[in-house]
Amino acid sequence: MALTTTTETSPAHPPAVAATSCGDGRAASASHPRLVADIGGTNARFGWIASPGAPVSDVRTLPVPAHAGPAEAAQQYLADLAAAQGAAWRAPRHAAFAVATAVAGDRVAFTNSHWDFSREAVRRALGLEQLLMLNDFEALALSLPCLGADQLRCPDGRLPHAAGAAPGLLAVVGPGTGLGVGAVVHTRQGWVALPGEGGHATLAAGDDLEAAVIAAVRRRYPHVSAERLLSGIGLPLLHQALGEVRGQAPATPWTAEAIVNAALGGQDALADGTLDLFCALLGSFAGNVALTLGARGGVYIGGGIVPRFADRFFASAFRPRFEAKGRFQGYLAGIPTALITDTLAALSGGALAIEQQVALG
């Protein structure tokens, strides 16, 4: 299922989210309705799939700190939705939750919130036949085959993956609070996510300035990963290190928001240079991901940082650095890149995960 960003309102007037079917649409209607969720440390977004081929709708955000756990938050969402739907209400049988933490076994514990729960206990509390638990980047990767032109911005007009096109491997790099990397590949059983921890790979310099900045960071941290600089937590460090190299280090660290705002407002040369450096390093890293995975179908940029300065991003050195791989420049030139503008994309990944699981029986 694909969906676009909506203004989240109360369930009394729920928004319908435009979507197209990402699966084969043959899943039995008896398996509907379905519940999907995208859960971070601060907010939990819930959505509803009423019938086969239907859009993800009734999207609502609930604050994580206000609820004891995902079962309680989901119960509030479902109770409000049931009141809004009245006689048409049917309880969900299948659900998929994308969570911003590692998923292994029954126990799921968040490092940035108080939620620590048993997946099986949540399934029973909600009366579900099946509850899939996905890492948030696994869900985002699964959303890639479902994304349409209205959910993406492409600098050259080339969509990474178009409906009806030959399936291929698709990759996503997402600078948010941290740096996520994931991919999906098409198999006989459908789309399979390839989760990993690529954001912790060592960051490489592309020129003397980048080498000097990374050396400045290495004086504090013995290993400089891509996430160390290409993320919300990394942008202030990149700004500080660039300042040290230029002899303009700020007395106190800036926030990522302050750096972006100052750069876009033309208020500060160091912030401006930091954003340029961020885009160039991200391009080089994304090109490495494309080469490593063989992502001929396309590379997507997700996360919450880059959409804040999309125009600046497309005018940056990102794409030239993406392709700057020597003898393999031609290989990279043939790989399209796109920016994911849909902040609710992970919900569509959860929807596809349910659809494929139900189809497998």
Hey, what are 340's tokens?
């994911």
Hey, what are 182's tokens?
């994931």
pLDDT in tens, the chain (361 residues): 433 333 343 333 333 333 334 654 544 467 899 999 999 888 999 999 999 888 899 999 999 999 999 999 999 999 999 999 999 999 999 999 999 888 889 999 987 789 999 999 999 999 999 999 998 889 999 999 888 888 999 877 777 765 445 567 999 999 988 898 999 998 887 889 987 889 999 999 999 999 999 999 999 999 999 999 999 999 999 999 999 999 999 999 999 999 999 999 998 999 999 999 999 999 999 999 999 999 999 999 998 899 999 999 999 999 999 999 999 999 999 999 999 999 889 999 999 999 988 887 6
Place of tokens 């039995």: 28
Residue set of the binding site: 37-42
Can you list the domains of the chain with their CATH numbers?
29-146 (3.30.420.40), 198-340 (3.40.367.20)
Burial (CB count <10 Å: 0-12, 13-18, 19+), residue 264: middle
Residue set of the binding site for ATP: 37-42
Helices in the chain by DSSP H: which ranges? 70-85, 119-125, 136-143, 208-218, 226-229, 235-246, 256-264, 269-293, 310-314, 318-323, 329-333, 345-360
Neighbours of 197 (CB within 10 A): 15
